Amino acid sequence: MPVNNSTNITVCRSLGATATNALTFNKCGPTGVGPVTVATNATLGGSGGIWGAVTVNGGTVSPGADANLVGTLTVNSNVTFNPGSTLQIDVSSASSYDQLVVHGTLNLNQATINLNFIGGYTLPAGTTVTVFQADSLGTYNVTAPPGYSVIRQGSNLVISQSPAVVNNGYTPAGPHTAYLSGTLLSTGASQTAWGVLWGTNDPGQTVSGWLGGGQRNLGTAGIMPITVTNLVSELQPSTTYYFRYWASNANGLTVADPAISFTTPFARTYFSMPITFTGYTNLTETLTNFPALVVLSNNMVSGFAFTNFLSTNGWDLRFVVNLGTTNYLNYEIESWNTNAGQASYVWVQVPAIPANGSGTMYAEWGDPANSSQLPCTTNGATWSNGFLAVWHMGQTNTVDSTTSHTPGLSYANTNAGGVVAGGQGFSGSTAYINESTNGFANFTNGLTVSLWANPSGTPTWARFIDFGNSSSSDNILFARNGTTANLSYQVYSGSAGGGTITATGALGSTGMILAPAFHNQTKLGHQETRELLIKQLAELGDYAQKANTRVLLEPLNRRECHFMRQVSDAAAICRDVKNPGIGVMGDFWHMTWKETNDMAAFIAAGKYLHHVHMASRKTRKVPGEDEGDK
């Protein structure tokens, strides 16, 4: 039964199920109604009973027959006060006041309680008014009248000038410590002191009778509400504790209800330290089962020393998400070096790294009960989440760290310095490692390749990774980009005709970059070159569309190309080709030579622009590294 805008419903006995919006019930009303919805500006009042759920959506519930008569309204079901809703309570004496009785679950979602004192009566200090009686209390968020507090007593709520305080929760911090959280909601009408009690028993809403624990006073409260978290220590391991926050002022003492219990973990003698992932922020993806590199050294943090390890190989090292648990994370030691000035490198499979930088795990070591080597250090479990192969390049004949354990065969490669724990030196031709790829060149479902490489010492276009047989099969090549210190990749498809375009589409790439003509590659003039290119591009564009990608024309600088040196030149060709499979890209470094205004060049490209290469102006470094970029 809806109680709508400006509708007042008075319940004197039990409501009938056929009631209409504007009907006012009195002591002769029908029986047995529900559910009831109270809308904004509407009022549900009375001292009878409702046999159905009551939902208050911004309206008012006022027990009692009218504003000058107190009474009890009973609901034989659940009651929910949604944001903006109000409970109006009339009080004529310490024992005579309105009350809402709920034989179900009471949910208070940002509700407000108003007090109306009849005949000039005021509530004496230390006196309480029980405004809610409920079988159970669900969500609890309520605003008290000015100068008063709403205090929970079991599943009941009372109004008092005493302070209001609640227990929030706990966080274990080891076998001897825990963080206990509470909130002082209001101070009533007086200056308030508050604190927290804990012990191995729960004596109830009292400050006496607590055993095996302690008390911490937090001093005088300030602006409400106040939420604090206290670290308590000297706890016993494997023991159940209870805690309650308390608050006291001139009008009375309040001890939060109900108590919260927690059990400390079992005691172990070990060293530990937290490892956080604060640098992984401003992203949207939570990384799951992600191998993270942990670097350990004697110069790392205060309190860490390799001398505290029981094993010279680091076998007593453990990683957990929560201290005191035995749910150890998979890890692999790539290199273990405890010498001064050196570091050890460990890969840990972290269950989840949130995108907000809140990820944390813990390293543990020095526990005599956990000093043996774990299977995960050798069985490849660290790389179980979709890794086909992992080569750390610490040996000339490399070993695959995944479960396949496929070894590599050395061909004149040599040990070289690396980013992590050493690497291998390649020539790009005769010095290399032959790895068994186990079908890696099948790109049907995509392939991700990550590597650390320094291409500066290798010949021009020397290859670092070759997944196949050059350009005669499905293949990806990673090679030095010309004479620069950068890496480039080349994609091939073994299918006849348009293989690179097919592979580009299979990888989901924006497009395949095409530089139509370099110096000395053709004797055709500009116009002849342009006409031939337009004719060829029409066919290539059709093929690119079928492969779900496009061909992107890249204008080059005058030192490399005699044709199509500006972005607008490429856009004009796209316009004449009239094929969505043909587009344009811009390269800031090449644009330096010919373009007079970068923004104008991109505007001229219009809808044909699909990709941009970023580079510094003079030396083709990262943008911002050249003076010309300032």
| Stretches in the chain below the pLDDT threshold 50 | 1, 4-32, 439, 495-497
Residue 398 lies in a domain: no
Q: Is the domain of 140 the same as that of 19?
A: yes
pLDDT tens-digit readout, 473-482: 556 667 776 6
What pLDDT sits at residue 10?
45
Q: CATH no. for residue 218?
A: 2.60.40.10
Contact assessment for residue 152 and residue 120, using Cβ atoms and an 8 Å cutoff: no
> Do both 31 and 149 map to the same domain?
yes
Residue whose C-alpha is closest to residue 154's, from 192, 97, 195, 106: 106
235 shares its domain with 177: yes
pLDDT the model gives residue 25 = 36
Q: Report H helices in 427-566.
A: 499-506, 526-546
Q: Is residue 70 part of a domain?
A: yes
- Is the same domain home to 259 and 279? no
Full domain range(s) for residue 300? 272-383
Q: Is 389 part of a structural domain of the chain?
A: no
CB 147 within 8 A of CB 249: no
In the block, tokens 């070759």 appear at: 466
Contacts 24+ apart (CB under 8 A), 211-219: 212/236, 212/239, 212/241, 213/241, 213/243, 217/193, 218/193, 218/194, 219/193
**Is cis: bond before 258, omega within 30 of 0?**
yes
Whether 469 is covered by a domain: the verdict is yes
Indicate whether 578 and 563 sit together in one domain.
Answer: yes
CA 351 – CA 35 distance, rounded (Å): 46
* Alpha carbon distance 539, 290 (integer Å): 44
In a domain, 496, yes or no: no
Find out whether 221 and 165 touch, Cβ atoms under 8 Å. no
**100 and 40 assigned to the same domain:** yes
Number of structural domains found in the chain: 5
- Would you give the end-to-end CA distance of the chain in angstroms? 70
What is d(CA 304, CA 301) in angstroms, rounded to the nearest whole number?
Answer: 6
User: 218, 150, 136, 220: which is closest to 180 by C-alpha?
Assistant: 218
Strands (E), 423-549: 423-425, 432-435, 463-466, 475-480, 487-492, 512-514
Q: Are residues 293 and 336 in the same domain?
A: yes
Determine whether 528 is exposed, middle or buried from the number of CB atoms within 10 Å of its CB (0-12, 13-18, 19+).
exposed
Instruction: Indicate if 13 and 117 belong to the same structural domain.
Output: yes
Q: What pLDDT is recorded for position 292?
A: 92
Q: Check which CATH number belongs to the domain holding 564 and give it.
A: 3.20.20.150
Q: Are residues 53 and 143 in the same domain?
A: yes
Residues 127 and 30 both lie in one domain: yes
Same domain, 568 and 430: no
Domain boundary among 129, 159, 189: 159
258 and 281 share a domain? no
Task: Give the pTM.
Answer: 0.43
Residue 605 is assigned to a structural domain of this protein: yes
